[in-house]
Amino acid sequence: MNSDCKDSLRLIGQQLDWLIFPRVKNGGIVVPSEPAIHFQPLGKEKNYESKRERRSTTEPWARADRWQRAASEFRASGGSRTASNTTSFLGSIGRHVYKAEELTAVCKAYPGTRIWEQGENFWLHVESSLLPGLQHKASFLVLISVTHQTVRSWGFWDSCAVGVTWIGPRHTNFPDGSICAFEPKDGTWQFGDSLVKLLDIYSAWALRHLHCEIFGRWPGPQSVALPFERMMELRDDELCGCGHLQKRYADCCKPTDMKRNRIAEAVLFGIFSAWSVRCPPVPIIEFMLLRSYPPAVSDIFR
């Protein structure tokens, strides 16, 4: 990573700690917020389960939850196709409908996006550059299931030199290792909302993983409700996972967590996670290695 990338990554991390959301440009390029306006707190990742040539970044929107906070947006059979040659609906069950125009917007915001249709369900394979000059990209495999009215996605580091590496396990869901970039009940993103908005959230999520890899700490708010996981994953200088937006872990929940019975907390965490280890399903890994055709939706929703 060159010095410009590292400086930009450090600044974005600092802004996230100040509850300032970065901007996301075409191709998933994440840049610091300008001017540095203090928005309301971000949507928080939860470990259990988000101006281009110049595109305008997604704007914050107000909502309320138990911490009285507001969220800012992080912003066919036989083969793949692009939005330019599809006229179908991306589902028409229930009140939410994704039309072809939505796919066109995705392909404009994230060039090179590949799309597969499986009945009422769609797969997207999207690449996000994250930072100008970064040698490896984030690669997202996204399942939009109209049948189940949900989206499930996986993130990978994509490098010509080493192939692909799963992005995780922090801030991914049990047990399938899918992306957990926001708290669903907070309304950060809901099925039927903009897919570009969702991919922007994923790009910011991947950038925060990159920050954690380079600087050793997760930047900005996060949600880690169980004490054992806080003890195992949070650093002293990270914002506490309990939802307190002004305190670091060392000054918030850590003193109480360290007094708990670790064995009992580990058992509770094991029960919660069904004693599973977060890892993408084999069909997902096979697709990312071979890049041929995504798995059947029935292989994912069992």
Report if residue 20 sits inside a domain: yes
In this prediction, residue 262 carries a pLDDT of 95
Helix (H) or strand (E) holding 107: helix 100-109
Domain count along the chain: 1
Q: Domain span at residue 196?
A: 3-218+277-300
Show the tokens assigned to 50.
Answer: 């988000």
Show the tokens assigned to 279.
Answer: 């890892």
49 contacts: CB under 8 Å, gap ≥ 6 = 173, 174, 178, 180, 184
In this prediction, residue 298 carries a pLDDT of 86
User: Mind listing the pLDDT tens digit for each residue in 124-170?
Assistant: 999 999 999 888 899 999 999 988 888 999 999 987 666 789 999 99
The radius of gyration of the chain's CA atoms, rounded to the nearest angstrom, is 19
Report if residue 91 sits inside a domain: yes
Give the amino acid at 69.
Answer: R
In this prediction, residue 53 carries a pLDDT of 37
In this prediction, residue 96 carries a pLDDT of 47
Report if residue 26 sits inside a domain: yes
Report if residue 229 sits inside a domain: no
What does each of the 302 residues of the chain score in pLDDT, given as a tens digit? 888 899 999 999 999 999 998 999 999 999 999 765 444 444 445 444 433 334 544 333 222 232 223 223 333 223 333 333 333 445 544 334 677 888 899 999 999 999 999 888 999 999 999 999 888 899 999 999 988 888 999 999 987 666 789 999 999 999 999 999 987 777 889 888 999 999 999 999 999 999 999 999 999 999 898 999 999 999 999 999 998 888 999 999 999 999 999 999 999 999 988 888 899 999 999 999 988 889 999 888 87
Report if residue 151 sits inside a domain: yes
Report if residue 290 sits inside a domain: yes
Report if residue 30 sits inside a domain: yes
Tell me 38's DSSP state: -
Query: Contacts by 242-249 with C-beta closer than 8 Å and gap 24+?
Result: 243/44, 243/66, 243/67, 245/19, 245/41, 245/67, 245/69, 245/221
Report if residue 249 sits inside a domain: no
In this prediction, residue 163 carries a pLDDT of 79
